[in-house]
Amino acid sequence: MPDIPTTMKASILVSKHVLPYQCISGPRDGGRYDLSDACPECGTGAQRLDPLRFPISMLRDRVSYTLTNEVVIPPRLVAPIRSVAPRCLRVICDKAGKVSSYFELVPEVTLIPWSANTTGWCTSKLEPSCPKCGRDGYFNVPKQDLRIVYDSEVAPFSVGATYERFGKSRLRNDFRESHFAVSQILVAGAVEKILSGEKGISFIPVNFVVNESTEPIS
Ligand SMILES: [Zn+2]
């Protein structure tokens, strides 16, 4: 029996605007992290609790990614996004911890592991996935779009994070030396619609399918 699409629609958010390395925030800046769902071996799954911190003067009036895959939302878009996804915004601070008018687009859900039919990713012999969780160590294939497939229903969301993490995690005794692999950011519904009007933004559709053969035959 053929696969049929479900009602859920979402896309990978892609921006051609990538912020310079000065705009990286991480364990090194002293921000707190929740490790309760993280791998005890590599730290993959650690959730940042504090706002990102970086030089606000480097931000522009556009939707940008940091080099660690955080989405920066300019002040102009904060109210529209807040009106449809209030849980998906977190303020960004300057290096001194002072609140700015820029916000981070924060996933409200981590998705289920993707289907084996997902393409456009690879692993690396040089930087293999963590042997305990197998959740980091994903990499993009050059010049090839990541085509994500989920083979079961998911609850509707506005901003989601892939279970799979790109790059290599390391959890160090000196926590500030730790580094965590990053999710792909998925957007859906009204948030996707708001961002679709932005320059430099594109979307790669995610495919949600349920196999009809698993449905009861009537
Ligand atoms: Zn691990």
Ligand 1: centre distance to CA 174 (Å):
17
77-107 residue pLDDT tens: 999 999 999 999 999 999 999 999 999 999 9
Ligand 1: centre distance to CA 130 (Å):
4
**So what's the pLDDT on residue 211?**
66
**So what's the pLDDT on residue 210?**
75
Q: Which pLDDT band, with edges at 50, 70 and 90, does 209 fall under?
A: confident
Contact between residue 169 and residue 177 where contact means Cβ atoms under 8 Å apart: no
3-state SS assignment for residue 202: strand
Contact between residue 155 and residue 10 where contact means Cβ atoms under 8 Å apart: no
Predicted confidence (pLDDT) at residue 110 exceeds the cutoff of 60: yes
Q: Is the pTM of this model over 0.95?
A: no
Q: Token digits for 139?
A: 């990499």
Predicted confidence (pLDDT) at residue 121 exceeds the cutoff of 60: yes
Ligand 1: centre distance to CA 138 (Å):
12
- Percent of the residues in the chain that have a pLDDT greater than 90, as a whole number: 90
Predicted confidence (pLDDT) at residue 157 exceeds the cutoff of 70: yes
Ligand 1: centre distance to CA 92 (Å):
28
**So what's the pLDDT on residue 6?**
58
Domains of the chain, residue spans = 3-211
Burial 20-41 (b: 16+ CB within 10 A, else e): eeebbbbbeeebebebeebbee
Q: What mean pLDDT comes out for the span 151-178? A: 96
Ligand 1: centre distance to CA 213 (Å):
34
Residue 3: its H or E element: strand 3-5
Q: Which residues surround ligand 1, an ion (CB under 5 A)?
A: 39, 41-42, 44, 130, 132-133
